[in-house]
Chains A and B, each alone.
Chain A
């Protein structure tokens, strides 16, 4: 059933421009670093990161990944929810022979697929930038992939909140404002106490106990997802 729902949800994203967000978000981050390295090539490549230019590129890029991931979650979930919210199509979708929990799961899947696509695109475009900059040697595949992937996992609690808020709230201004505010604050994640989930993606990026915060992110997300799903399944559809 979830496969059918997902297929329907994918069709609904057609012509919404949602995939452009994925593309521009990921490629934009890489383009920014192309500019950064292009302008300060000698300083960055021959001086600061002379020993490991690939590592340097990835490190410079990674500083912007947490804010990008938070913004992407907010924007993508906002757009996904908007498809149903705009003409209040919930009453049509939920009057179909489907489980509410599966509808909820399908929306999550939709967003996750887009975020994962963005991660892969980020890895590919960052690799392209590195090659264009003339970094030789073997490509650091693993580091390129985890560049987006680890912060994404550590940011999952935010997706849990966004998923629930955008799909259950009439007033989309609330989740979107909250999402943007959180994105801004996440930049200073490294100087926040680690009990705040907002700090996790930045801590992961800085290489502090990466797997611990990835695990915490997944665990907290699972809890939030469950609560959101229960609420979504029980609430009255106006």
Chain B
């Protein structure tokens, strides 16, 4: 069994009676990029603040590096780098001075500052006052601060929030390098499945303070599944052709919708449809969106029902009534 970097047991935090985080059990193995996923207000930031000892849990236990956070907070934090929500910085200071304020506390050698600035690509702007930085640069400075102490665990809360596509890409590439190059375990939170999907190796999904899914990324992708939509001139007749090919689609808004179909089957089907003189307008893959995944997961929690309730991304009403109501 791999060693767990972070483990929480029944972590709970209440705000005015409502449970922001409700009996959460996190398990983050070493060397992973763990995507912590959930809609806004699901309790991600609250959880992360508890992991960093910024707020105290009402009940439950946090173990980082196998040590109790309550007792060994300082020892643990020495090995953790963090970036919580929007970046913290001192606008009147430049990047080097900002890092120096942290370096003095961590007591690491001075050349670490140049190293981390290089890692995040801020060397050129190091002497500029941080007030004038773009959000992306501030976010990178935040990551540089987190890396300064040479952490074994990096906790990043919504690091790509509010960034433009190129900024998101930069941060993502930066995060993906961490486990490979420096052996750092990363916990990264986001409300975007697509974002997590592109960097995380394992994933935990929270909703309303509860962990509703926690597994490896491939397993989530399997669970999310995808459908192939084929739009064609005569869908009714197309259905018959498809059945002759051994595929059993459903008809949805004039499109044939296939589940669990592999590349070979699609190829054969398309050529059969062409042979049958159908005009094929579109062959597209539709992923279940995070919302759909949430709804199905919170609706029942079991994989079977999630599959049965599978719907198109457009949110067609077919078979969707039950999980949607249950989620609310």
Secondary structure call for the A interface = loop
- How many residues does chain A have at the interface if contact means C-beta atoms less than 8 Å apart? 28
| Number of residue pairs spanning A and B whose beta carbons lie under 8 angstroms apart | 83
**B101 at the A interface (CB under 8 A):** yes
How far does the alpha carbon of A90 sit from the alpha carbon of B55 in the complex, in Å?
12
Q: Complex Cα distance A89/B98, Å?
A: 11
Closest 5 CB pairs of A and B: A92-B88, A236-B55, A89-B88, A97-B77, A97-B78
**A89 pairs with B49, CB closer than 8 A:** no
Q: Which B residues between 84 and 126 are near A, CB-CB below 8 angstroms?
A: 84-85, 87-93, 97, 100-102, 104-107
Expressed in whole angstroms, the minimum distance between the Cβ of A3 and any Cβ of chain B is 9
Contact A87 B105 (CB under 8 A): no
In the complex, which residue of chain B has the Cβ closest to the Cβ of A237? B54
CB-defined contacts of A174 to chain B, threshold 8 Å: none
Task: Indicate if A83 sits at the interface (CB-CB under 8 A).
Answer: yes
Which residues of B are interface residues toward A (Cβ below 8 A)? 49, 52-56, 73-78, 80, 82, 84-85, 87-93, 97, 100-102, 104-107, 142, 145
For the complex, what is the distance from the CA of A12 to the CA of B94, rounded to whole Å?
A: 11
Q: Which residues of A contact B90 (CB under 8 A)?
A: 12, 83, 87, 89
Q: Does residue A11 face the partner (Cβ distance < 8 Å to B)?
A: yes
C-beta contact mask, A78-92 vs B, less than 8 Å → 1, else 0? 000001001111111
Task: Say yes or no: is A184 at the interface (Cβ < 8 Å to chain B).
Answer: no
Partner of A95, one of B75, B84, B91: B84
Q: How far is the CB of B48 from chain A (nearest CB, A)?
A: 10
Most buried by B among A5, A15, A91, A234: A91
- A sample of 10 more A-B contacts (CB under 8 A), given A95-B54, A95-B82, is A5-B104, A8-B105, A87-B87, A90-B88, A91-B88, A94-B54, A95-B77, A96-B105, A97-B73, A98-B105
The contact sample of 13 A-B pairs, CB cut-off 8 A, is A4-B104, A8-B105, A14-B92, A87-B88, A87-B90, A90-B88, A91-B88, A92-B84, A94-B54, A95-B77, A95-B82, A96-B77, A97-B74
Does A7 lie at the interface of the complex (its beta carbon under 8 Å from any beta carbon of B)?
A: yes
- A97-B75, A97-B77 are known contacts. Are A236 and B97 too (CB-CB below 8 A)? no
Q: Is the CB of A99 within 8 A of B54?
A: no
C-alpha spacing A238/B85, complex, angstroms: 11
